[in-house]
Each structure stands twice: as C-alpha cells, then as structure tokens.
Amino acid sequence: MDIDNVKIFIINLDKDVKRLTNAYEQLNKYEFKNYEKFTGIYGKQLSIDEINDNTTFIGKLLASKSMIGCGLSHIKLWEKIVNENIELSLILEDDFVFYDDFKNKLNNLLLNVPNNYDMIHLSSCIFHNKYLKLYDINDYFYKQLFILQTLSYIITLDGAKKLLKYINKVSYHIDIDISFKSILNYNHINIISVKDPLVYQTFEDSNNTDDREFPLIVNNLLIHKDLNYLYKTCLLTINIDLNFNKIIIFIIGYYMIDVAVIILVAEYIYKKNNKIFENLFILILGWITKLILF
C-alpha cells in the first residue's frame, strides 16, 4: 500500500483559516493530491438539543462543549468513511506538523504493517509513547498502553465500523474514550502505534484548551508542551469547564487572595489576557470558600 493511494482528511473548523492554510502547506510539501477538508463541529455553537442528542449520560455530566465538538468531528468523519466505503484513510487534525521525510518513512512503515489492524497512531506524547506500552509488535510498531491523541491516525473501513459500534456519542475526550473501548474490547479493536512518531502537534490556540495564562510562573515552569497542554485541557464541566489551571487559581485565591490580586493585575499589564475577569472570579471564589469554612 502506497500513501498516495490513501484518502487524507483534515479536520478543520471554518473559523480556523490559518490552520487550514498551514495544513495544506504541509501536504503540498510532499505533493499529496488525494486530500480534502472535513469541516469539524464547533462545540461552542451546539444547541442544548444537539448536545443532548450526541452525548451519553456520562457525556452530559462531564464533557465540555469543546470535548463534544472534537469528539463529534471524529465520529462524523468515521460515518463518512463507512457511508462512502473508503478502505483506508489518514485522518489529521489541523494543528499537525510532519517530521522530515514523512512520506518515505510512512511508505516504509506501510510495507511492514501487521495484518488485521484497525487504526495506526502516527504521533506520540508524554503518556502515549513506545516506553509506555503493552508489547512490541515488530521493529516498527507497538501495542500502546494509553491512547492520548487523535492528531494523526490511519483507519481502515472495518476499523471505522468497529469504532462506531462502540462510540457513536461523546462521553469524554474522544482519545480517552477510544483508549477505554480498545482495552475493554481488546479482541475486537486492533489499535497500534508507530515506535517513531511521524507527526507532532503545534498546540497553538488549541480548541481543546483554555487560553488563560495566569499564573505565568506555572505556565513558564511547564516548558514541556505536553505538560502545558494537559495543564490547560478541560478535565470536566460543571457549568464551567474545569481544568488544572482553574484549580491552581482557586487554591491561590483560597490561601493568598491579597497577593494574588496584585499579581493578577501586574501580569495583565505585562501580558494582556482576556480571561482576567474569569481569573479574578475564581480567585474570589477561593477566598469566599475559605471564609465559609473558617
């Protein structure tokens, strides 16, 4: 199988024109022709009825709108693959970057791919890599312990059918949902990963993360992109999206509200951020919680 014969889809929101341009530049660099944009679903614009129709009971409790939009984008694309009977597809989220010599390396991998796979992950991260694995398959592929990215993967027609059997609504982050389903249905869904990643993620202006910067010292300490990404990624939603960043701000407000407000204003002057009022609200909420408890 040659990658030129594989259908390529780029998941992209209509608002993210710059991302799509960058994606096309990456693909044109290697003279790919068989690609098209797949319009993603912007979670923040979903109505209550649309959310209720496309989430499980757990999803209604835990999933943020960004999680739902991201998850639905992949689910709807799997449905397109099945409806159009596409045997093999490469799916890319629009913030991808190819490593050097991507095309030749991928073609070489496809010559050595094991039989009966359903999905091949082409990227890795701090918790999804060849060192955290169940076992090696051969010199090129391994069976991953966790699946923590949907940035870039090859999926077969049978793989899309199997995933839709187990995932047709959003419960949580789509990558984590795939991970659990692949573990629980180990003999039915064969998902594997490349040992040496071929694609990496820019993490710039991610639709799954919170763009707040306060407190800057924590953001600056988390110099590893994967850690900073996880720090800002939504964990669950309870009317507001909850992540580690908000938890840290709440704790700071609980213990040192006076100093925290001064730091917040100083940081805003240094680096303007449109989340200042939300950050201030979370700080005050932490302080009020302390007053109530004591």
The 10s digit of each residue's pLDDT in 195-218 is: 999 998 885 555 544 455 545 544
**Total length of the chain:** 294
pLDDT tens-digit readout, 233-290: 555 455 555 566 667 777 777 777 777 777 777 767 766 766 777 777 777 877 788 7
Handedness of CA 203, 182, 126, 59 (dihedral sign): positive
Residue 230 has pLDDT above 80, yes or no: no
The band of 221, judged by pLDDT with boundaries at 50, 70 and 90, is: very low
Q: Global pTM?
A: 0.74
Assigned token pair, 66: 């960004």
Percent of residues, the chain, with pLDDT higher than 70? 80
Kindly report the number of other CB atoms within 10 A of residue 273's CB atom.
16
Where b means 16+ CB within 10 Å and e means fewer, 17-34 reads: eebeebbbebbeeeebee
Closest by Cα among 203, 199, 205 to 27: 199
Mean pLDDT, range 103-132, rounded to an integer = 85
Residue predicted with more confidence, 118 or 184:
118
34 part of a folded domain: yes
pLDDT tens-digit readout, 59-80: 887 788 888 999 999 999 999 9
**Residues sharing a CB contact under 8 Å with residue 45, sequence separation 6 or more, in sequence order:** none
Q: How many folded domains does the chain comprise?
A: 2
Check residue 258 and give its pLDDT.
76
The SS3 call for residue 200 is: strand
Check residue 253 and give its pLDDT.
75
Q: Is the same domain home to 87 and 21? A: yes
CA distance 37 to 73: 12
Q: Is the same domain home to 57 and 178? A: yes
Check residue 233 and give its pLDDT.
57
Burial of 52 (C-beta count, 10 Å sphere; 0-12/13-18/19+) = exposed
Q: Which amino acid is at 164?
A: L
133 part of a folded domain: yes
Of 151, 177, 201, the domain-final residue: 201
The band of 223, judged by pLDDT with boundaries at 50, 70 and 90, is: very low
Check residue 257 and give its pLDDT.
77
Check residue 286 and give its pLDDT.
79
Place of tokens 């780029």: 10
Of 201, 232, 262, the domain-final residue: 201
Q: Is the same domain home to 103 and 166? A: yes
Q: Which amino acid is at 162?
A: K
pLDDT tens-digit readout, 128-181: 667 777 788 899 998 888 787 899 999 999 999 999 999 999 988 898 899 888
Of 177, 201, 225, the domain-final residue: 201
Give the mean pLDDT of the chain: 82
Check residue 218 and give its pLDDT.
47
| Domain enclosing residue 182, as ranges | 3-201
Assigned token pair, 4: 């030129």
Q: Is the same domain home to 121 and 260? A: no
206 part of a folded domain: no
Residue 184 has pLDDT above 90, yes or no: no
Check residue 141 and give its pLDDT.
92
211 part of a folded domain: no
Mean pLDDT, range 34-52, rounded to an integer = 94
Where b means 16+ CB within 10 Å and e means fewer, 281-293 reads: ebbeebbeeeeee
Nearest 5°: the CA angle 131, 137, 141 is 65
Q: Is the same domain home to 186 and 68? A: yes
Please count the helices (runs of H) and the strands (runs of E) in the chain. Answer: 11, 12
- CATH number, domain containing residue 125: 3.90.550.50
Q: Is the same domain home to 196 and 228? A: no
